[in-house]
């Protein structure tokens, strides 16, 4: 049974400030590094056979915490990057609402075509899902950890499970350094666990 552990990166200063990161390359802060170090032993206990990561620093450095324990190499894949948020990147929600009111209304209303150069969610799901499928095919029957981003994780596993957008909208975002597990069964890919991590759920941060 192939198991994919889709792991969100640790906290960054932009997470703490409520800024949309998207594909801006923001590194982990001290809290994020601590979160990765705390989560890594739990994931190491699953005895992963391979470790992949988005090439953005916050995901790569999260993966490095697990690599230090398992001695696995980290394979980077740019398809695992977060959704590109176009003109929203670097802004807080109030700033987006003020500068791009029409696009903000479409975004918060669940419109698939936000505008403002924001990548469509179905495009995110397709590229991340493609990467996850290829990773799974390389490691049949193994546990594989994939360090990525909140929005990318949700859209990617949703694509793997063939879930419609209405179902994905009902799934709560991953907390920093929490993960989703999907498994391959005779009936196809199935969700085994979501928002698993080393500490109880508190606030849900922005998934970007």
Average pLDDT value for the chain: 95
Tell me the C-alpha distance between 58 and 80, whole Å: 12
Judge whether residue 76 has pLDDT over 50: yes
Q: Which residues are catalytic?
A: 9, 82
Give the residue-averaged pLDDT of 106-126: 95
Q: Which pTM value belongs to this model?
A: 0.94
Annotated binding residues: 8-15, 58, 82-85
Tens of pLDDT, residue by residue over 136-152, are 999 999 999 999 999 99
Tens-digit pLDDT profile for residues 162-203: 999 889 889 999 999 999 999 999 999 999 999 999 886 554
pLDDT of residue 27: 98
Q: Is pLDDT of 207 > 80?
A: no
Residue position matching structure tokens 């230090």? 68
Domains and CATH numbers, the chain: 3-84+119-196 (3.40.50.1240)
Q: What are the pLDDT digits (tens) for 19-69? A: 999 999 999 999 999 999 999 999 999 999 999 999 999 999 999 999 999
The sign of the dihedral angle between the CA atoms of 184, 188, 192, 196 is positive
Give the residue numbers of the binding site for substrate: 8-15, 58, 82-85
- Both tokens of 158, joined, read 């949703």
Question: Which residue's structure tokens are 């170090």?
Answer: 37
What pLDDT was estimated at residue 201?
A: 58
Given a cut of 80, whether residue 118 has pLDDT beyond it is yes
- Those residues with Cβ within 8 angstroms of residue 88's Cβ, 6 or more apart along the chain or in another chain: 20, 22, 96, 100, 103, 107, 116, 118
What per-residue confidence (pLDDT) applies to 204? 47
8 A C-beta contact, residue 118 and residue 110: no
DSSP 3-state assignment of 141?
coil
């Amino acid at each position: 049974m192939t198991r994919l552990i889709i792991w969100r990166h640790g906290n960054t200063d932009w997470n703490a400030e409520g800024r949309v990161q998207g594909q801006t390359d923001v590194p982990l802060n001290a809290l994020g590094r601590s979160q990765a170090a705390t989560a890594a032993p739990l994931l190491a206990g699953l005895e992963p056979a391979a470790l992949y990561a988005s090439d953005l620093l916050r995901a790569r450095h999260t993966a490095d915490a697990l690599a230090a324990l398992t001695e696995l190499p980290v394979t980077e894949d740019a398809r695992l990057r977060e959704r590109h948020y176009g003109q929203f990147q670097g802004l807080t929600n109030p700033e987006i609402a003020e500068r791009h009111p029409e696009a903000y209304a479409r975004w918060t209303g669940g419109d698939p075509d936000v505008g403002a150069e924001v990548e469509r969610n179905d495009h995110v799901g397709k590229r991340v899902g493609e990467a996850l499928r290829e990773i799974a095919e390389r490691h049949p029957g193994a546990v594989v950890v994939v360090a990525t981003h909140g929005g990318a994780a949700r859209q990617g596993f949703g694509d793997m499970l063939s879930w419609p957008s209405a179902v994905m909208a009902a799934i709560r975002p991953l907390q920093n350094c929490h993960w989703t597990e999907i498994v391959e069964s005779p009936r196809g890919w199935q969700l085994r666990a979501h928002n698993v991590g080393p500490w109880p759920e508190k606030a849900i941060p922005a998934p970007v």
